[in-house]
Amino acid sequence: MSADHEIDNLLHEERHFAPSSEFAQNAIAQANLYEEAASDRLGFWADQAKRLHWHKPFTKTLDWSNAPFAKWFHDGELNVSYNCLDRHVEAGNGDRVAIFFEGEPGDTREITYAELTREVKKAANVLTQMGIKAGDRVAIYLPMIPEAVIAMQAVARIGAIHSVVFGGFSADSLSSRIDDAQAKLVITADGGYRKGKASALKPAVDEALAGDKCPSVQNVLVVKRTNQDVNWVEGRDVDWNMALAEASDEHEAQAFNAEHPLFILYTSGTTGKPKGILHTSGGYLTQASYTHRNVFDLHPENDIYWCTADVGWITGHSYVAYGPLANGATQVMYEGTPETPDWGRWWSIVQKYGVTILYTAPTAIRSFMKMGSSIPAQYNLSTIRVLGSVGEPINPEAWMWYRKVIGGGKAPIVDTWWQTETGAIMVSPLPGVTTLKPGSAQVPLPGISAKILDDDGNELGRGHAGLLVLTEPWPSMLRGIWGDSERFKETYWSRFEGMYFAGDGAKWDEEGDLWLLGRVDDVMNVSGHRLSTAEIESALVSHPYVAEAAVVGAKDETTGQAVVAFVILRQSQVEAAGDADHVSKALRDHVAKEIGPIAKPRTIMVVAELPKTRSGKIMRRLLRDVAEDRPIGDVTTLADTSVMDIISGKVAAGAND
């Protein structure tokens, strides 16, 4: 039996979940969307764009003549913030709650669309008074508090460009991002609440700007959240709360060209220097709102939507700060961590606000699984009707748990594939249309064209794995890398002529559904056979012993690469699992059974934690260092830097046989 054939076994998912007729009947997205988009792709996107308010309507949909630099709706003018705020108030929905804010200590705020609009107008006036003009860059370094959304919206409103830097990043990372974008202003806070205590942010800003490190910065606007003591630089630092209190709440939104830059968001690439991914206005907002409405089946009058992502990541841009507001949604925003004060916090929030749509990441789902179903079972989660997943492949076991324990066995799960670069969701089921299949992101959305190619650029069909590409431009696509158009062309457009190379491996199954196989740099080559880390991880976590698993390819003299697995055991199984040799044998046999002997990990290491970035991505680079017995590389982007000391102290279990 060939390795390819063996890999097929795992991706042949037997479980299918058709939408209920009740859900399908009331769903926003109907099956005809696919036909509409297929028969006239550009006309379809123009129709989606027309759901926004245009100060000056566009007459042209796409200009691709200077590919890969796209222009969408480029003779039109709009204001992004007007679309997210004023127009809902003008439509009579000013009293609708825009944000239910839940602070980690338990403080709450309820902000209506009318109130949010007023706050954003005040903030826009403050920015203008500080000399910020259209096109200027503003760095935002804030915790998950409403001011983060207010700041982003205010920057957008005056046509300036925000660069949100995740609050968990260090002073150095902040400094290099500020400098790369030549930001004039930094908006930050004294601190925020995390894991039960006030955690400072302002000192990192002071350090990032110290000496003449970032000469472009003229001011720092500081939100008071924790009232910690902060260092204050006279003439540079401005108190947000005081400035807004004095500002006028009158502000007329000006129109900007559809291609006016909206934001830069830095993301890591294959080199050490992060890439400043550039997004613009009209196309971005069109696709963020289109996907938010159709993929989550948003009924803004009734739904309570909650996306758990931090605004420091693209998900927090498109599905907290822009998409939901463009659609007039009511959303929950939570400041803290899921385990504070205990692992029931998220479910208590769902119960308290009656959350109907929950969008989160597989890593969180697996953490909850690890803690046990009895915790969510203590809360009333019956309001939930749509569940979303993003950021990495969701293994079928986590998918099933999510559906059963969180979704009451009935809520559809939308597994959404996309990237910082794509700006919005690209591949996902539509909840009232698609028959769901655990573990697969399924099909490109209406309006999106994806293919899978082999290394030579030949298109692959059902049953084959290769490289995922996007073959047609889409409205929310990145418009470039800030200050580096060569890197933009090189990274995304040079691998295959005229196509966007996503950097992910993928496979069409026999039914034409798409399975993401992880980054191509996470794809291993063992004895000439291509194996995906995600696939082996999925097999490992389907064994009752295993709560979480991470797999890396380590150099091997004989096989090129060898599979090395790091596993966390389920609390309840530690005794049954026995010693390391026993665990190793059981899991290697299990993987052999699930995928084939070729995929058997050479080494299995039982660990207590996995190294993750603050956004929850496993840092395989560090695990590779352990697997290849090298000194551990740079750990500064880890959420918990002590993890590597714990892991590297472990002794490898099992051996070749």
Query: Taking Cα atoms as reference points, which of 552, 576, 578 lies closest to residue 566?
Result: 552
CB contact at 8 A, 431 and 295: yes
Contacts to ligand WTA by CB under 6 A: 267, 313-315, 390-393, 415-420, 441, 502-504, 516, 519
Residue 510 beta carbon to ligand WTA: minimum distance, rounded to whole angstroms: 20
Residue 315 beta carbon to ligand WTA: minimum distance, rounded to whole angstroms: 5
Largest CA distance in the chain: 74
- Cβ proximity to ligand WTA: between 237 and 392 the closer is 392
- Cβ proximity to ligand WTA: between 427 and 433 the closer is 427
Residue 289 beta carbon to ligand WTA: minimum distance, rounded to whole angstroms: 17
Query: Taking Cα atoms as reference points, which of 508, 511, 538 lies closest to residue 522?
Result: 538
- Cβ proximity to ligand WTA: between 101 and 515 the closer is 515
Residue 391 beta carbon to ligand WTA: minimum distance, rounded to whole angstroms: 5
Burial class (CB in 10 A: 0-12, 13-18, 19+), 207: middle
- Cβ proximity to ligand WTA: between 502 and 583 the closer is 502
Residue 269 beta carbon to ligand WTA: minimum distance, rounded to whole angstroms: 10
Instruction: Give the whole-angstrom CA distance, residue 303 versus residue 290.
Output: 16
Residue 197 beta carbon to ligand WTA: minimum distance, rounded to whole angstroms: 28
Instruction: Give the whole-angstrom CA distance, residue 591 versus residue 586.
Output: 9
Residue 506 beta carbon to ligand WTA: minimum distance, rounded to whole angstroms: 9
Instruction: Give the whole-angstrom CA distance, residue 338 versus residue 243.
Output: 33
- Cβ proximity to ligand WTA: between 115 and 297 the closer is 297
- Cβ proximity to ligand WTA: between 295 and 332 the closer is 295
- Cβ proximity to ligand WTA: between 241 and 268 the closer is 268
Radius of gyration of the chain, Cα coordinates, nearest whole angstrom: 24
CA 547 to each of CA 252, 365, 368, 467: distance values in angstroms, whole numbers, following the listed order: 53, 11, 10, 29
CB contact at 8 A, 256 and 77: yes
The encoded tokens of residue 392 equal 């990495």
In single-letter form, the type of residue at position 246 comes to: E
Instruction: Give the whole-angstrom CA distance, residue 326 versus residue 264.
Output: 19
- Cβ proximity to ligand WTA: between 419 and 584 the closer is 419
Instruction: Give the whole-angstrom CA distance, residue 266 versus residue 172.
Output: 14
Supply φ then ψ for residue 38, to 5 degrees.
-70, -35
Relative to beta strand 330-334, strand 304-307 is: parallel
Residue 308 beta carbon to ligand WTA: minimum distance, rounded to whole angstroms: 13
Residue 610 beta carbon to ligand WTA: minimum distance, rounded to whole angstroms: 17
Instruction: Identify whether 446 is preceded by a cis peptide bond (ω within 30 of 0).
Output: no
Angle at 587 between CA 585 and CA 593, to 5 degrees: 105
- Cβ proximity to ligand WTA: between 324 and 328 the closer is 324
Burial class (CB in 10 A: 0-12, 13-18, 19+), 645: exposed
Residue 27 beta carbon to ligand WTA: minimum distance, rounded to whole angstroms: 20
- Cβ proximity to ligand WTA: between 244 and 430 the closer is 430
Residue 359 beta carbon to ligand WTA: minimum distance, rounded to whole angstroms: 11
- Cβ proximity to ligand WTA: between 392 and 535 the closer is 392
Is 266 strand, coil or helix? strand
CB contact at 8 A, 138 and 185: yes
Residue 118 beta carbon to ligand WTA: minimum distance, rounded to whole angstroms: 31
CB pairs under 8 A, 24+ apart, for 194-200? 194/104, 194/143, 194/335, 194/336, 194/337, 194/340, 195/336, 195/337, 195/339, 195/340, 196/104, 196/340, 196/341, 198/226, 198/228, 199/143, 200/226, 200/228, 200/230
CB contact at 8 A, 162 and 251: no
- Cβ proximity to ligand WTA: between 243 and 314 the closer is 314
Report the length, in residues, of the chain. Answer: 657
- Cβ proximity to ligand WTA: between 102 and 392 the closer is 392
- Cβ proximity to ligand WTA: between 84 and 516 the closer is 516
Structure letter (DSSP) for residue 61:
-
Residue 525 beta carbon to ligand WTA: minimum distance, rounded to whole angstroms: 18
- Cβ proximity to ligand WTA: between 113 and 399 the closer is 399
Interacting residues of 642 by C-beta distance below 8 A, sequence separation 6+: none
Query: For residue 24, how far is the Cα from the chain centroid?
Result: 27
Residue 20 beta carbon to ligand WTA: minimum distance, rounded to whole angstroms: 23
Residue 389 beta carbon to ligand WTA: minimum distance, rounded to whole angstroms: 6
Give the DSSP letter string of 5-34.
HHHHHHH-----BPPPHHHHHH-SS-THHH
